[in-house]
Amino acid sequence: MRVAVLGGGAVGTAFSYLLDAGGAEVVIYESDSARREALASQGLILEGALEGAGRVKLGEFGVPVVPFDLMLIAVPAYHTAEAIRKVSPFVHRDTYYLSAQDGYALHELEGMVGPSRAAALICRISARLTEDGRVEVEDIREVVLAAGKGFDPEVASPFLETLESYVRIRQVEGEEASRELSRRAAVSSALNATCAVTGRTPSVLREGTETRTLVERAFREAREVLGLEGDEMDPFQEGVWERLLPPMPLHLARYGRTEVDYLCGEILRRGRQRGAALPVHRSLYTVVKELESGRLSPGERALKELLRRVEEDEGLGLV
């Protein structure tokens, strides 16, 4: 099985290591020059819950290669179209795409390559890329293949079989897949965004009454909008991240941009359709946007501004 991994960050590196260890032919495509240099010089180094080292090939954009069987997309959701365009000459009609983005960009990906060739991976993995190029893995709980309408899960069997010796694998389809994707979105929109605003890890948020309440309220809003009222879940437990930051604050620091439009923004769009008042999500969305613009920085001031906006929004009763 030939696999192109688009993105050499924490998740892309973890999957590359597991696939290589399982016997797949892996080529990593990474556009960041510093990360490419680190991968070329020291290879893949993982520590913590997943330990190991290895070397894989680095792909060169624009250099023709034999088409891949599978494209694993491990870039931020907003980079999906750009990543696909860069490797489009290396695919054929039997190339399939797996989005290791927790489903945030699945509809966008389906629109580009067709629903029969795209599926989402919900990655219950907590990992971060360190400054010296290693990947620290806090937890690698499971990987869930969520197959949308028209996608045959059997085409991903070789990929999943390669991974199952190292991590728990589940496959879900139809309504079950939609519910799994909604559960992940509810957790991430609440916990991810609050971590981005505060700059605090989930374990620290949970210890603070104020911040724990914020996360729990945002989570309840998302559950209501996404039709998950019957699911009794702890967002901190479901989120996997504990002492490590989730992706949104890391993307903010590295790129100055986050996936807030795919998370809080999508919850707000769903809320408008249902006429739901979402004071916490509305405030999270606007504060994160100000973090992206540089008008605010993560920390105590941003948290106070978030709390002020939530209180103001509640007083206005906005829908």
205 phi, psi to nearest 5 deg: -60, -40
Q: How many domains does one find in the chain? A: 2
Question: Both 146 and 188 in a single domain?
Answer: no
The H-or-E segment that residue 284 falls in is helix 279-293
Residue 57 domain-assigned (yes or no): yes
Looking at 120-230, list the stretches that DSSP marks H as alpha helix, in order from N- to C-terminal side: 157-163, 174-198, 202-207, 209-226
Residue with tokens 């999943």: 160
Residue 267 domain-assigned (yes or no): yes
User: What distance in Å separates the CA atoms of residue 133 and residue 306, rounded to the nearest whole number?
Assistant: 34
Q: State the chain's mean pLDDT as an integer.
A: 93
Question: Both 124 and 43 in a single domain?
Answer: yes
Quote the tokens at residue 48: 């913590």
Residue 69 domain-assigned (yes or no): yes
User: Which of 120, 143, 166 is at the close of a domain?
Assistant: 166
Specify the CATH number for the domain of residue 238.
1.10.1040.10
Q: What is the pLDDT of residues 1-16, one digit of tens each?
A: 899 999 999 999 999 9
| Predicted pLDDT of residue 111 | 92
Quote the tokens at residue 113: 């390559």
CB 110 within 8 Å of CB 120: no
Question: Both 142 and 208 in a single domain?
Answer: no
Determine whether 260 is exposed, middle or buried from the number of CB atoms within 10 Å of its CB (0-12, 13-18, 19+): buried
More confident residue, 317 or 260: 260
Percent of the chain with pLDDT over 90: 83
User: What distance in Å separates the CA atoms of residue 124 and residue 108, rounded to the nearest whole number?
Assistant: 22
Question: Both 193 and 162 in a single domain?
Answer: no
Question: Both 146 and 210 in a single domain?
Answer: no
Question: Both 254 and 135 in a single domain?
Answer: no
Q: What is the pLDDT of residues 96-131, one digit of tens each?
A: 999 999 999 999 999 999 999 999 999 999 999 999
Range of the domain at 83: 2-166
Question: Both 153 and 190 in a single domain?
Answer: no
The H-or-E segment that residue 17 falls in is helix 10-21
Question: Both 6 and 151 in a single domain?
Answer: yes
Using DSSP's 3-state secondary structure scheme, residue 261 falls into coil
Residue 50 domain-assigned (yes or no): yes
| Predicted pLDDT of residue 10 | 96
| Predicted pLDDT of residue 232 | 81
| Predicted pLDDT of residue 318 | 46
Specify the CATH number for the domain of residue 124.
3.40.50.720
Give the pLDDT mean for 179-192: 95
Residue among 186, 213, 194 at smallest CA distance from 298 = 194
Strand ranges, E, within the chain: 2-6, 25-29, 44-48, 52-54, 57-58, 70-73, 96-99, 118-129, 135-147, 168-173
User: Which of 115, 134, 166 is at the close of a domain?
Assistant: 166
CB 223 within 8 Å of CB 231: yes
| Predicted pLDDT of residue 319 | 45
Question: Both 110 and 7 in a single domain?
Answer: yes
Residue 196 domain-assigned (yes or no): yes
Question: Both 12 and 160 in a single domain?
Answer: yes
User: Which of 166, 199, 220 is at the close of a domain?
Assistant: 166
Question: Both 197 and 132 in a single domain?
Answer: no
* Residue 34 reports pLDDT greater than 50: yes
Q: What is the pLDDT of residues 243-278, one digit of tens each?
A: 999 999 999 999 999 999 999 999 999 999 999 989
Give residue 228's pLDDT band: very low, low, confident or very high (50, 70, 90): very high
Residue 174 domain-assigned (yes or no): no
| Predicted pLDDT of residue 317 | 53
Residue 172 domain-assigned (yes or no): no
Question: Both 190 and 259 in a single domain?
Answer: yes
Q: What is the pLDDT of residues 125-166, one digit of tens each?
A: 999 999 999 999 999 999 999 998 889 988 899 999 999 988
Residue 15 domain-assigned (yes or no): yes
